[in-house]
């Protein structure tokens, strides 16, 4: 039977072609794809969407149907091409014991089970009990033997370890020490990783655990995943009247240096130096202002950097942390080092924290910043 026959004659099945397994059994009968797609109403449209190389959102607002305000995607079946890149980076093999963090629909758990073979084992942990139940039903319906459990995947699942591979399907800001302790030496830990500076963008990283208990890996391409629920960050409310109380100043750094944009690799890389800083950019009458915010153990800090061609760069700093100065220093470092792309950097994680490095894990290093705890 051909792939086309297997999908009812509706185009090429990308998931089957790229990953060896049709994702259709893991997709709900009704979902939103710009508009409502209902298999019972329009089976051909439903199948075409499932066959495509596209994200299919399977849950909104953590499953709270009457949630007010903006609709936020909280579970999906990712693009097959993206899943393929992540699975390839994992390098999972027959006989491996694999921990998956974020079961979602159960589709990637099934793919991992396909690859570990009869002598391997897959444990998949899902924080949302409703999603975990649906995933178990999906897996059972296609006869895939995965240990799918409800729980916080950031704690790992010690009973199933130690693991040869850890596969993470949600965006991570701080890598949990549990993943290191539950992995064998030489294990690969694959995840989307990023900073608060660019909350909607991550980079793919495959960490390899060393004998000393640390794990390191170089960043690969950019991608965007929903964040782990306990590591989500809501945009803050700035302290009332902070601009009036801010320390003002001027910098001779030109607009061309601090103008790093708000999309693409430039703000992503600058954010490596400011991982716990949130930022937004506003334009007004020919000038641009970048706002920065950090809520640290020493209190709230805010800053604004306003720039325009031909004018001095103005800074406004409030709170204990000089966010304006740190942002300008990071932007200067980025320009001075030839505007390096994310692939020039990597991540090292230890049981005590994590750090981003530039070049190699041993130096040179990224802009001055302490290891994150």
CA 224 to chain centre: 6
**Residue 25 included in any domain:** no
Task: Note if the bond before 162 is cis, omega within 30 degrees.
Answer: yes
Write down the pLDDT at residue 68: 66
Last residue within a domain, chosen from 336, 351, 368: 336
Predicted local confidence at residue 4, as pLDDT: 38
Note the pTM of the prediction, 2 decimals.
0.91
Same domain for 138 and 265, yes or no, is: no
Other CB atoms within 10 Å distance of the CB of residue 338: 8
Whether 43 is covered by a domain: the verdict is no
User: What are the tens digits of pLDDT across the range 261-305?
Assistant: 988 899 999 999 999 999 999 998 889 999 999 998 888 999 999
- CATH number, domain with residue 93: 3.40.50.150
DSSP conformation class of 284:
E
Instruction: Please report which confidence band the pLDDT of residue 5 belongs to, taking 50, 70 and 90 as the band edges.
Output: very low
Distance between CA atoms of 349 and 268, rounded to whole angstroms?
19
CATH of the domain at 247: 3.30.310
How many residues would you count in the chain? Answer: 373
d(CA 337, CA 164): 37
- Residue 1 domain-assigned? no
* CA–CA distance, 371 with 349 (Å, rounded to integer): 9
Asked, for residue 249, whether it belongs to a domain, the answer is: yes
Residue 224 and residue 100 share a domain = yes
Distance separating alpha carbons of residues 301 and 323, to the nearest angstrom: 7
Parent domain of 311 = 242-336
Q: Are residues 212 and 182 in the same domain?
A: yes
Least confident window among 24-38, 106-120, 162-176: 24-38
Domain presence at residue 31 = no
Q: Which residues pair with 223 in a beta bridge?
A: 202
Report the domain count for the chain: 2
Which whole number is the average pLDDT over 4-21? 75
Active site residues: 78
Same domain, 279 and 148: no
Same domain, yes or no, for 287 and 209?
no
Q: 88 and 180, same structural domain?
A: yes
Q: Are residues 227 and 100 part of one domain?
A: yes
Q: How many Å apart are CA 307 and CA 311, to the nearest integer?
A: 7
Q: pLDDT per residue over 57-94, tens digit each?
A: 999 888 887 666 678 888 999 999 999 999 999 999 99
Boundary (domain end) residue, out of 197, 231, 265: 231
Q: Are residues 329 and 290 in the same domain?
A: yes
166 vs 98: CA distance, rounded Å: 6
Neighbours of 284 (CB within 10 A): 9
Q: Omega into 364 within 30° of 0, i.e. cis?
A: yes
b/e per residue 137-165 (b: at least 16 CB within 10 A): ebbeeeebebbbbbebbbebbeebbebbb
The pair phi, psi for residue 27, each rounded to 5°, is: -105, 130
Domain limit, last residue, from 169, 203, 231: 231
Residue-averaged pLDDT of the chain: 91
DSSP character string of 144-177: ---EEEES-GGG--GGG-SEEEEEE-SBBSS--H
pLDDT at 233: 86
My answer on whether 305 and 181 are in the same domain is: no
Would you state the structure tokens that stand for residue 5, as one six-digit string? 């026959």
Torsion of CA 86, 91, 95, 99, to 10 degrees: -40
In a domain, 263, yes or no: yes
Tell me: do 284 and 317 sit in the same domain.
yes
Asked if pLDDT for residue 32 goes beyond 80, the answer is yes
Phi, psi of 168 (to 5 degrees): -115, 125
Return d(Cα 169, Cα 126) in angstroms, integer.
10
Give the model confidence (pLDDT) of 95-148 as tens digits: 999 999 999 999 999 999 999 999 999 999 999 999 999 999 999 999 999 999
Q: Domain for residue 355, yes or no?
A: no
In angstroms, the CA 87 to CA 101 distance is 13
Helix axes 80-90, 107-116, angle to 10 degrees: 40
Residue 225 lies in a domain: yes
CB atoms within 10 A of CB 341: 16
Same domain membership, residue 195 and residue 246? no
Same domain, 112 and 251: no
Residue 364 pLDDT > 80, yes or no? no
């Amino acid at each position: 039977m051909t792939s086309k026959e297997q999908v009812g004659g509706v185009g090429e099945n990308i998931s089957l072609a790229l990953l060896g397994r049709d994702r259709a059994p893991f997709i709900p009968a009704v979902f939103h794809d710009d508009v409502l797609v209902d298999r019972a109403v329009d089976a051909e449209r439903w199948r075409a969407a499932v066959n495509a190389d596209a994200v299919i959102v399977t849950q909104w607002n953590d499953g709270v149907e009457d949630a007010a305000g903006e609709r936020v995607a909280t579970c999906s079946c990712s693009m097959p091409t993206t899943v393929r890149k992540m699975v390839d980076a994992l390098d999972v093999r027959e006989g491996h014991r694999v921990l998956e963090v974020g079961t979602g629909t159960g589709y990637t758990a099934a793919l991992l089970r396909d690859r570990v073979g009869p002598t391997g084992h897959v444990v998949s942990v899902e924080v949302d009990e409703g999603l975990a139940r649906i995933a178990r039903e999906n897996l059972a319906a296609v006869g895939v033997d995965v240990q799918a459990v409800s729980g916080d995947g950031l704690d790992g699942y010690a009973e199933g370890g130690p693991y040869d591979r850890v596969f993470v399907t949600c965006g991570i800001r701080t890598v949990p020490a549990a993943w290191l302790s539950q992995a064998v030496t030489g294990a690969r830990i694959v995840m989307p990783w990023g900073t608060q500076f660019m909350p909607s963008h991550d980079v793919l990283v495959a960490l390899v655990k060393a004998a000393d208990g640390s794990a390191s890996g170089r960043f690969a391409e950019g991608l965007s995943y929903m964040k782990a629920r306990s590591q989500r960050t809501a945009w803050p409310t700035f302290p009332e009247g902070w601009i009036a109380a801010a320390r003002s100043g001027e910098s001779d750094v030109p607009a061309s240096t601090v103008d790093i944009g708000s999309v693409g690799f430039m703000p992503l890389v600058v954010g490596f130096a400011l991982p716990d800083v949130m930022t937004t950019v506003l334009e007004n009458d020919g000038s641009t202002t970048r706002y920065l915010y950090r809520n640290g153990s020493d209190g709230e800090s805010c800053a604004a950097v306003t720039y325009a061609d031909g004018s001095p760069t103005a800074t406004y700093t409030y709170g204990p942390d000089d966010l304006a100065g740190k942002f300008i220093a990071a932007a200067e470092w980025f320009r001075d080092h030839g505007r390096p792309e994310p692939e020039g950097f990597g991540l090292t994680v230890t049981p005590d924290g994590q750090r981003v490095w530039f070049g190699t894990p041993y130096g040179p290093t990224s802009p001055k910043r302490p290891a994150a705890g």
